Amino acid sequence: MSQTYVLSPNDGLGILLRLCLALLVGAAIGLERQLKNKPAGLRTHMLVSLGSAFFVLVPLQIGTAQESAEALGRVIQGVTAGVGFLGAGEILRESQHESTTGVKVRGLTSAAATWVSAALGIAAGCGLWQMSLIGALLCLVVLRAFKRLEPHK
């Protein structure tokens, strides 16, 4: 792993910038979801992104990521799996509100947006600000522009 991603424990400004970036990209996705009246909205996406950034900042701060790239990889895998459970809960919650006449799965896009927020937070936590901002922009394009291509329900 490159030295550029490692922060010294007393680099408060660097930490603050990375965490604020995580909040910003999470807010961009969450605001779009909030405006669509989805259950996982602004605060949820901001917190998922912020939490993901924290999880990757810890090994970067204590230097284990520098000693072993596997440590950071395990953290990222754990975040990915954990957020997957949040998404599954969203899908189940949405599906339970459907009529009993037919099974209709809902909440997949909200679950995917939450998952992407986690990835954006991981990128922000690693200091990959360009990747994080580009990813947020692309996610918003998918959520906004491609919605028009779906059949109306």
Spatial CA neighbour of 5 closest among 50, 51, 71, 49: 71
Residue 54 has pLDDT above 80, yes or no: yes
Percent of the chain residues past pLDDT 70, beyond the cut: 82
Tokens found for residue 122: 């991981």
* Sign of the alpha-carbon dihedral angle for 22, 24, 25, 29: positive
Residue bearing tokens 């209709």 = 104
Percent of the chain residues past pLDDT 90, beyond the cut: 44
Q: Burial level of 47, CB count in 10 A (0-12/13-18/19+)?
A: middle
pLDDT at 12: 87
Q: What is the mean pLDDT of residues 69-85?
A: 87
Task: Determine phi and psi for 69, rounding to 5 degrees.
Answer: -65, -20
pLDDT higher for 48 or 146?
48
Specify whether the backbone of 37 is left (phi greater than 0), alpha (psi in -120 to 50) or beta. Answer: left
pLDDT at 3: 45
pLDDT at 1: 41
**Band (121; pLDDT cuts 50, 70, 90):** very high
Q: What is the mean pLDDT of residues 24-49?
A: 92
The reported pTM is 0.80
Choice among 8-17, 67-76, 87-96 with the minimum mean pLDDT:
87-96
Residue 80 has pLDDT above 60, yes or no: yes
pLDDT at 2: 45
Query: What is the spatial distance between Cα 132 and Cα 31, in angstroms, rounded to a whole number?
Result: 16
pLDDT higher for 87 or 103?
87
